[in-house]
Amino acid sequence: MIGGNGRRGARYRLAARRAFARVHPRPRMPMAPPAVPFRLLATLWLAAGLAAQEAVQEATRAVPVFADGEAQVVDAFSKPSEWIREALWVETTFDSDGDGRPDRMHVDVTRPRQTETEGLKVPVVYETSPYFTGIGSTDSRYFWDPKHELGAEPPPRTPMPAVRSTARPDRIATSEVRRWLPRGYAVVHSCSPGTGLSQGCVTIGGENESLAPKAVIDWLCGRAKGYTTIDGGEPVTAHWCSGKVGMIGTSYNGTLPIAAATTGVEGLAAIIPIAPNTSYYLYYRSHGLVRHPGGYMGEDVDVLYDFVNSGNPARRGWCNENVRDGLLKKQQDRLTGDFNDFWFTRDYLRHIDRVRAATLVVHGWNDWNVMPEHSVRIHVALRQRDVPCMAFFHQGGHEGAPPFSLCNRWFTRFLHGVDNGIEAGPRSWIVREGETEATPYADYPHPDAVRVALHPRAGGGAIGGLERAPAPGQGRETLVDDVAVPGAKLAQAAESPQRLLYATPPLAQPLHLSGTARVQLRLACSKPATNLSVWLVTLPWQGAETKNVITRGWADPQNRNSLSRSEPLVPGEFVDVAFDLQPDDQILAAGLPLALMVFASDRDFTLWPKPGTELTLDLDASVLTLPVVGGEAALAAALGASDEGGR
């Protein structure tokens, strides 16, 4: 038998089993798992629990919410007691106060708690201003005396008392916070150079006023340094910022978003400038004429410097000597009103090619402080460059914001990136006369507006005609300047030697004007210099300028050939003077005449020379050009005539 007993048999049986196993392998049994330490099991259980908890938290984490293209109020962002507030100083790239160190700008931040506890990153609504910490006196004693003969040295100006600063190191302002923070934004404020606790000098449109907000935006986007104190301190970062910044503000506060945008700073995604000043020359001068902003007779660049100079007491004397007295007073040139390099550097249109921020401009047609041309010129320039832009115009004055929902949609689109289609809609919105809701239009000026001409007829000492067709032989008419008589009284007078007035017949149907009216006047003067003022009005006068004045314009006939070079008039010699009036958009009501008023000194806007200067107008060589929606046919219909000539 195979096998048997003994060692040989045992070896045989082992060899046989191995051979069988090679031919018929047995399935391998799983090994028993090693023992797991209790500490490791506890760690695994804890990790699993935390992961589940984080999943729940992620599902309930506070984030911005959007509906109908707008950011909505989120309860988790709406508790002021939970908001994080901090103040800091951002280091700039300039030294405008001459102390040998980069100026630092005072900044405050208000942001949702979740930016610290949950790592939430949010966009920023940013407002910067020279007004946050105090302003100077509006007493006329500290303004330039308007009683000033044209071409003569102006009388000296009494210095304004120092501004009493209200600056606090822990807080600058609270504007915009309650509107924007509950909707998923942080809100940031900063003081302009030389104001509040910001270092530097006030320069009124100088380069540092553009670079200061740029530095703050660079800090928000991680490219500039921030510190906890004005002259040292620990570094501060904006780790919570999404890298998208929007700026908003009115008047000077609306000017500075445009100033920042013209630096091309990355991260400034959208701006909403309300009644902005886009050129300091256009603010203080008009076609070569020294002109004052409405309501601030005698103001000029150096006056505004004193008015906002609320900061930097250690360097104020240096700034006064080198900036106010050494630059502003010398270069503003109240003697001629000519355009020069000083004014050129304070025109933001010169760097419009750098602007990348989506721009919603807002202005009132009856703003005679910062006049409508400031916003119109920027809107038109941006439209030509294909930068997202929109204009909102209303019938009010210097104050007046657009509907919050429009601002919300603008920032929602360009700061949060929500595709709400706002840039694909109308490019302009206009609040019509007597209405509260805005009417959308394809653009401004109205695409169907066409320039048409009206010609004066003899009789302007009382009320001459204003007709579509020229009529040779109208002759010449003379007015005598007297600044003591306000423009409103001149327009109301049945006749007056101080003005020439030319009116259409009562309109047979409404007439829509949209754009910029222009006058071309051939005139002679009895002196080498004169003010020249033009109003476009409706008659009869209804008690308030806002109801009657359509638009206005002012010019210096000495600058008829060049804004940068005055040419004194030769008494009695006729010259041609052409200039634009302020842009406008109005639908003139049927039944009222439209009138052109020409006079010399405008008491509310120009210098006040002694009375007696004579201006003679050549009617045959003078014309008013209007931007009429519908062109000649619409004007003819409004005047009750056919398009083939007529009145």
pLDDT digits (tens, 9 = 90+) for 70-83: 999 999 999 999 99
- Comparing CA positions, the residue from 556, 517, 616 lying closest to residue 338 is 556
Distance CA 188, CA 88 (A): 11
- Residues 507-521: what's their mean pLDDT? 98
Cα separations in angstroms, 188 against 141, 267, 353, 522: 36, 14, 26, 53
Average confidence (pLDDT) over 288-306 = 97
Q: How many CB atoms lie within 10 A of CB 117?
A: 12
Q: Strand, helix or coil at 140?
A: helix
Q: What is the largest CA-CA distance in the chain?
A: 154
Confidence of residue 400 (pLDDT cuts 50, 70, 90): confident
Is residue 387 pLDDT above 90, yes or no?
yes
Quote the pLDDT of residue 646: 46
pLDDT of residue 1: 34
- Statement: residue 591 has pLDDT above 90: yes
| pLDDT recorded at residue 43 | 53
H or E element at residue 536: strand 532-538
Q: How far apart are CA 613 and CA 525, in angstroms?
A: 7
Whether the pLDDT of residue 56 is over 90: the answer is no
Which domains, from first to last, does the chain contain? 68-441 (3.40.50.1820), 449-638 (2.60.120.260)
CA dist 345 and 353 (Å) reads 15
Residue 24 annotated among the catalytic residues of the structure: no
Q: Which residues pair with 615 in a beta bridge?
A: 479, 525
- Candidates 129, 190, 198, 251; catalytic one: 251
Token readout for 571 is 């008494």
Mean pLDDT, rounded, of the chain: 91
Chain position carrying tokens 């009562």? 506
Taking 3-state DSSP, the helix, strand and coil percentages for the chain, each rounded to the nearest 5, stand at 25, 25, 45
**Token pair 């997202």 is at which residue?**
388
**Span 209-216, average pLDDT:** 98
Region of poorest pLDDT, from 27-31, 71-75, 217-221, 382-386: 27-31
pLDDT class for 17, splitting at 50, 70, 90?
very low
Q: How far apart are CA 364 and CA 30, in angstroms?
A: 86
251 among known catalytic residues: yes
Distance of alpha carbon 611 from alpha carbon 498, whole angstroms: 10
Alpha-carbon distance 51 to 378, whole Å? 53
Average pLDDT over residues 613-634: 98
Alpha helices, H only, 362-423: 373-384, 404-415
Residue-level pLDDT at 11: 37
Residue the block writes with tokens 């919105």: 429
Kindly list the distances between the CA atom of residue 564 and the CA atoms of 298, 341, 558, 606, in Å, as whole numbers in the listed order. Answer: 22, 9, 10, 19
Task: Give 442-472 pLDDT, tens digit per residue.
Answer: 999 999 999 999 999 999 999 999 999 999 9
Under a CB-based contact definition with an 8 Å cutoff, are residues 462 and 452 in contact?
no
Q: What pairs with residue 454 in β-bridges? A: 624
Question: Looking at 97, 218, 306, 367, which residue is catalytic?
Answer: 367
Determine whether 286 is an active site residue. Answer: no
